[in-house]
Amino acid sequence: MTAFFDRGWRLFVTALSFFLFGLGSVFISLILAPILMVLPGTSVQKQRRGKACIHHVFRFYIGLMKLLGVLSYQVYDRDRLQGAKLILANHPSLIDVIFLISLVPNANCVVKKALLRNPFTYGPVKAAGYILNDDSVDAVIEAAQQAFDRGDALIIFPEGTRSIPGEKLNLKRGAANVAVRTAVDVTPVVIDCQPVTLTKGEPWYRIPQQRPHFVIRISPPMPIATYIDNVKPAMAARNLTADLTGFFNKELGLHE
């Protein structure tokens, strides 16, 4: 009976969490973003305010979900995010980006252009000036370089989509190309969630039997100089992608 009520409570607070997220997104789109846009300052200053606001909102949101019992989590070696420029993470769950932005005050992201057409995501994306991945590769790399020059930390999920539980990760070269062509070190972040939840194609109401526990490990930086010295960019990106793929699969216990 206790397990029945626990599951019922978690279903209720999960629904509440999604409702509050949608409500908060609409608030940012209709009220907060316009206010940030009319405040004095350059476009860079306005976007920096937007990133800081979203960071604090997401930090509060993660804390609220933990308080309500939707999930629990642990973060290891968070200090390694200080000064990080390019943060690459695996993507097991829908809320991975919320976790990472809650940990990084100056976070920028590469997001789909379709998010600008979604009333729940338009405001945050616009206010923070996130990079759109529907642009050309060169445009994304140029935008990434500009973000680094402004002092932003860029978060990318190199899989390009959420992971399939139990299957090896298959990383794309886009993130490695950003690292190679901007010559910035890579900070890998390994996210593990047990039991898995909010995977690709899974509806929010299909909650696991037990409360999901997220473990987020920030790994030491991977020096980019190791890959770009006397190597053509295309080969350097290929080598970095291969090493990142092996690293994540090993850390997640998906290697043979």
pLDDT value at position 113? 82
CB 218 within 8 A of CB 237: no
Residue 45 maps to a domain: yes
43-68 vs 96-103: helix crossing angle, rounded to 10: 120
pLDDT value at position 34? 85
pLDDT value at position 135? 63
Residue 256 maps to a domain: no
What are residue 189's DSSP bridge partners? 89, 218
Residue 52 maps to a domain: yes
pLDDT value at position 1? 46
Write down the pTM of the prediction: 0.93
Total number of domains constituting the chain: 1
pLDDT at 125 over 90: no
pLDDT at 256 over 80: no
CATH number at residue 33: 3.40.1130
Q: CA torsion angle for 237, 88, 254, 252 (degrees, to 10)?
A: 150
Look up residue 176 and give its two tokens. 């490695």
**For the chain, percent of residues with pLDDT exceeding 90:** 70
- C-alpha–C-alpha distance, residues 140 and 123, integer Å: 21
Closest C-alpha among 94, 98, 131 to residue 116: 131
pLDDT at 180 over 90: yes
Domain housing 86: 2-251
pLDDT value at position 245? 96
Task: Read off the pLDDT of residues 12-66 as tens digits, 9 standing for 90 and up.
Answer: 999 999 999 989 888 888 888 888 888 888 888 888 999 999 999 999 999 999 9
- 180 alpha-carbon distance from chain centroid: 20
Q: Is the dihedral of CA 219, 215, 50, 25 positive or negative?
A: positive
Residue 181 maps to a domain: yes
